[in-house]
């Protein structure tokens, strides 16, 4: 069951990279703050290439292995001063795109559609 969840997540992440221009990283880095920092740098180095990000960490992966669900962190890249959309709204837009893609691959998503809560994915 965990294997099926992993394989569907990989498919969704591949599509999110290609279609949605997200940095999508599986089982990445030790914890949320280290991952967030590294991804932020990656986007800053190539801001025209990326719109946002989604990832789960090695910590999250242990939960995935044991309990067969995973929490995904996500967000929009830092918005520019001349953008009309506030950061939080941009984050939610990215979250909805991720949710849509996950559901397309047949995964179940539990998320309250706010930027404050990570996206929980169950098989
Ligand atoms: Zn860390």
The domain spans of the chain are: 2-122
* 17 alpha carbon – ligand 1 mean position (Å): 23
Q: What are the tens digits of pLDDT across the range 53-87?
A: 999 999 999 999 999 999 999 999 987 777 788 99
Give pLDDT, residue 79.
Answer: 76
The CA 58 to ligand 1 mean position distance, Å, reads: 9
The size of the chain, in residues, is: 123
Whole-number Å distance, alpha carbon 31 to ligand 1 midpoint, is 4
Check: CB of residue 77 under 8 Å from CB of residue 39.
no
Give residue-wise pLDDT tens across range 27-46.
Answer: 999 999 999 999 999 999 99
Global pTM reads 0.95
**What span, in angstroms and rounded, lies between the C-alpha atoms of 77 and 28?**
18
Alpha-carbon distances, residue 116 vs 30, 85, 110, 119 (angstroms):
21, 17, 13, 10
The strand pair at 69-76 and 119-122 is best described as antiparallel
- Per-residue model confidence (pLDDT) at position 96: 98
């Amino acid at each position: 069951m965990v294997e099926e969840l992993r394989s569907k997540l990989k498919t969704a992440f591949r599509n999110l990279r290609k279609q949605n221009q997200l940095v999508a990283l599986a089982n990445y880095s030790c914890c949320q703050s280290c991952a967030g920092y590294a991804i932020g740098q990656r986007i800053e180095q190539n801001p025209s290439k990326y719109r946002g990000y989604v990832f789960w960490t090695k910590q999250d992966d242990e939960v995935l292995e044991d309990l067969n669900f995973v929490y995904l962190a996500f967000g929009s890249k830092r918005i520019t001063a001349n953008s009309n959309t506030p950061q939080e709204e941009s984050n939610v837009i990215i979250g909805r795109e991720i949710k849509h893609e996950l559901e397309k691959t047949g995964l179940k998503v539990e998320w309250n559609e706010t930027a404050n809560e990570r996206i929980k994915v169950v098989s």
